[in-house]
Amino acid sequence: MATETAGAAGRTLIYDGLAFGECPRWHDGRLWLSDIFGKRVVAVDLDGNGEEICSVENHPSGLGWLPDGRLLVVSMTDRRLLRLEPEGLVEHADLSAVCPGNCNDMVVDARGNAYVGNVGFPYGHRGAPVAVRRATSLVVVTPAGDVRRQPGTLMCPNGAAIHADGATLVVAQSHMGRLTAYAIANDGSLQGERVFADLPAGRNNPDGICIDADGAVWYADPHHCCCVRVLDGGQLTHIVDTAPYECVACMLGGVDLRTLFLVLVEPRDAPGRENFVLGGAASAPGTSRIEALEVDVPGAGWPR
């Protein structure tokens, strides 16, 4: 099977009112995102109308929903999982004892189990030098807020997704150039770590991911300015070139789940990007955008 490569042709601009979009989710007919450095969660419809859902002082990241419809939001620098109630955000779980680095992405399954990643070491801003990078693991948070650290030695676990049958979780290792898969046990625990795909040079900085109905993974690669579809085993089937923008996340959604939403940001060395500091002030919108591209195979599984 030949790899298909596409550029800007066929892509549509949906929304450009973000400082730094991340963790897109297609939910209830809208694309929900964390604006990490804008310190807010936003929902955008297909006509480009955006609504601020809530603000998150310590930088939002992964998003998901409990079975009863309540929103869960990862709060990065204080390493907490928050839950949106009518009166506002409340703590769902404190993750600080099990997450050695800032928390980042998350996937929530049909039962309400939340699988949360963390960088594994202190991290202040994009591109900051790191003396020692440390392996870490995912944690699972039950719907009741109980926290269990999972097995594994992951180098910067990032985007995560669950197959439609609910039996397999795939996570991107941003600093290992690899997608890793786990079997999900009946109690929600992760077992049987294996390689889903070792990624080739030039396509090996996976960030946000989603899964389609064929079990293939779309992954964003910000360092190489692209979004890539890969099969279990490592074969690349599609590459979307997003240069000069970095692609940090992707999500399949739309009416028939065949719209691939690309979350793009200006290059990390662009003027003003030095203000994107975790713990800093909220950044103004306008440096990150959502573009959409129609694909053949619809989305499936979670996140959604």
Q: For residue 269, give the CATH number of its domain.
A: 2.120.10.30
Strands (E), 19-98: 21-27, 30-35, 40-44, 50-55, 60-65, 71-75, 80-85, 88-94
Based on DSSP, count helices (H) and strands (E) in the chain, helices before strands.
0, 25
Per-residue pLDDT, averaged over 94-123, amounts to: 92
* 143/114 Cα distance (integer angstroms): 8
* 138/164 Cα distance (integer angstroms): 20
Tokens of 50: 């955006």
Beta strand 236-241 with 147-149 is unpaired
Burial class (CB in 10 A: 0-12, 13-18, 19+), 185: exposed
Contact by Cβ (8 Å): 89, 80: no
What is the per-residue pLDDT for 129? Answer: 66
Answer yes or no: is 164 within a domain: yes
Task: Please state the φ and ψ torsions of residue 274, each to the nearest 5 degrees.
Answer: -65, -15
Q: What is the pLDDT of residues 217-272, one digit of tens each?
A: 999 999 999 999 999 999 999 999 999 999 999 999 999 999 999 999 998 777 76
What is the per-residue pLDDT for 93? Answer: 98
Q: What is the pLDDT of residues 22-48, one digit of tens each?
A: 999 999 999 999 999 999 999 999 999
Domain membership of residue 124 as a residue range:
4-294
Answer yes or no: is 119 within a domain: yes
Answer yes or no: is 269 within a domain: yes
Answer yes or no: is 79 within a domain: yes
Q: What is the pLDDT of residues 173-189, one digit of tens each?
A: 998 899 999 999 999 99
What is the per-residue pLDDT for 8? Answer: 64
Answer yes or no: is 23 within a domain: yes
Task: List, in order, residues 6 or more apart from 186 with CB less than 8 Å away.
Answer: none
* 289/284 Cα distance (integer angstroms): 13
49 pLDDT higher than 90? yes
Instruction: Please state the pTM of the whole predicted model.
Output: 0.94
Answer yes or no: is 303 within a domain: no
Answer yes or no: is 257 within a domain: yes
Answer yes or no: is 302 within a domain: no
Domain count, the chain: 1
